[in-house]
Amino acid sequence: MKSVRLGIIGLGYIGQIHLRHGLRLGNTEVTAVADISAKELNKARNAGVKTVFKNYEDLLKNPSVDAVVIALPTHLHLQCAIQAAEAKKHIFLEKPIARNVQEANEIVSAARKNSVRLMIGYPLRFNKEFRSLKREISNGTLGDIEIAQGTYISAGPFFHRAEGYAPVPVPEWWFSKELTGGGALIDLGSHIINLLQWYFGEIIGIKSCLGYRFNLDFEDSATCLLKFKCGTRAVVNVGWFLQGYQLKVEMYGTVGQAVREHKPGGRPKTAVQMLTRGYSDFHKPHFDELQYFADCLAHDISPSPSGEEGLEDLKVISIAYHNEMFPKP
């Protein structure tokens, strides 16, 4: 496959980012999009996409699509991913892979059965700072890592109402545990847990302490203690309570220490970057992960983070939900 013909399913916040990037990738053409919103479909047409669908099932029947980006709410991942696999479309699926381990297993099995490539969207794996940290850990620059800490705290679904943003309503599905599979731990924690498993390998133990500041039926913050088979211990802190942004990974080894951060750019700088090259420094990892996915398909290579990795992340998160140290009264 020399050139990848890409279909994008879901044109919400993250879907719009993938569309913008997909239109600028090398060896890739966005041949179709699907969304229930006529407004978003018109935006896609104006951006140059010729074929649009209100029903993603029609997109999956389109022979001009080789692979799909699934950027739908989590409760729609299972059905869409299985149908995409059965339609023999390679799949880039936004994290978390599913709401629970059972659904994740079904998605991974469908991809295997139909011999399609499955990649999970974890942009932190493509962040230059976190990739450089991976190299330092692998080459022993820091010695043996005794303690690690990963922090990802933001406004979560409430980011629409952060300072400087228009007060756009939060989609209802965000507040249903049945539809999301959980709160901040599965949403933000999946990013950090995947990153740490990439660094250190298998997790053999996990405990959690969950927070309920907003009195929802699921957690809006979480602190987890992880033990890895290699001996490293890690603390993961995630939350939706900050009208700001903090994404940081810290490593403390027997030889040295390291801290890496992913920082949002200022609005004027970001605007200039968007106008001149189509993506900002902040969203460069999203661009790179999609380019990597397309390159893997073009060269018939299995991508990573794989569906199996997404499944393992969800297994860890499931255990964390069941190993809460101080359960909600």
- The pLDDT-based confidence of 124 (bands split at 50, 70, 90) is very high
- Domain identity same for 169 and 99: no
- Domain identity same for 93 and 141: no
Q: Give me the pLDDT at residue 166, please.
A: 60
238 close to 221: Cβ distance less than 8 angstroms: yes
Q: Give me the pLDDT at residue 328, please.
A: 77
What are 220's two structure tokens?
């809006």
CATH number for position 54: 3.40.50.720
Task: Map tokens 């990013």 to a residue.
Answer: 191
State the residue range of the domain holding 318: 125-283+305-322
Q: What is the arithmetic mean of pLDDT over 239-266?
A: 92
- Please report how many Cα atoms fall inside a 13 Å half-sphere around the Cα of residue 284, on the Cβ side: 14
Q: Give me the pLDDT at residue 64, please.
A: 96
C-alpha distances in angstroms, 53 versus 9, 62, 78, 168? 9, 10, 20, 25
Q: Give the number of domains in the chain.
A: 2
Give the residue, 186 or 164, on which the prediction is more confident: 186
- The pLDDT-based confidence of 2 (bands split at 50, 70, 90) is confident
Q: Give me the pLDDT at residue 144, please.
A: 98
Q: Which phi and psi (to 5°) does residue 17 adopt?
A: -65, -45
184 part of a folded domain: yes
- What tens digit of pLDDT does each residue of 50-68 get? 999 999 999 999 999 999 9
- Domain identity same for 201 and 214: yes
225 part of a folded domain: yes
Proportion of the chain above pLDDT 70, given as a percent? 92
327 part of a folded domain: no
- The pLDDT-based confidence of 160 (bands split at 50, 70, 90) is low
83 part of a folded domain: yes
- The pLDDT-based confidence of 243 (bands split at 50, 70, 90) is confident
CATH number for position 279: 3.30.360.10
C-alpha distances in angstroms, 194 versus 59, 119, 132, 188, 251? 30, 13, 16, 10, 16
- Domain identity same for 163 and 196: yes
197 part of a folded domain: yes
210 part of a folded domain: yes
Give the residue, 273 or 257, on which the prediction is more confident: 257
Residue 301 CA, distance from chain mean position: 20
- What tens digit of pLDDT does each residue of 268-297 get? 455 445 555 566 788 999 999 999 999 999
- Domain identity same for 107 and 171: no
- Domain identity same for 49 and 194: no
Which segments of 45-157 are extended strands (E)?
A: 51-53, 67-70, 90-94, 118-121, 145-153
Identify any residues that bridge with 149 across adjacent strands, giving them in sequence order. Answer: 235, 250
Instruction: Count the Cβ atoms, other than its own, within 10 Å of residue 102.
Output: 11
- Domain identity same for 66 and 201: no
- What tens digit of pLDDT does each residue of 15-51 get? 999 999 999 998 999 999 999 999 999 999 999 999 9
- Domain identity same for 26 and 81: yes
255 part of a folded domain: yes
C-alpha distances in angstroms, 27 versus 5, 24, 90, 127? 9, 9, 15, 22
Give the residue, 273 or 169, on which the prediction is more confident: 169
Q: Give me the pLDDT at residue 163, please.
A: 46
- Domain identity same for 68 and 137: no
- Domain identity same for 316 and 185: yes
328 part of a folded domain: no
- Rounded (5°) CA angle 44-47-49: 60
pTM summary value: 0.94
- Domain identity same for 193 and 88: no
- Domain identity same for 151 and 60: no
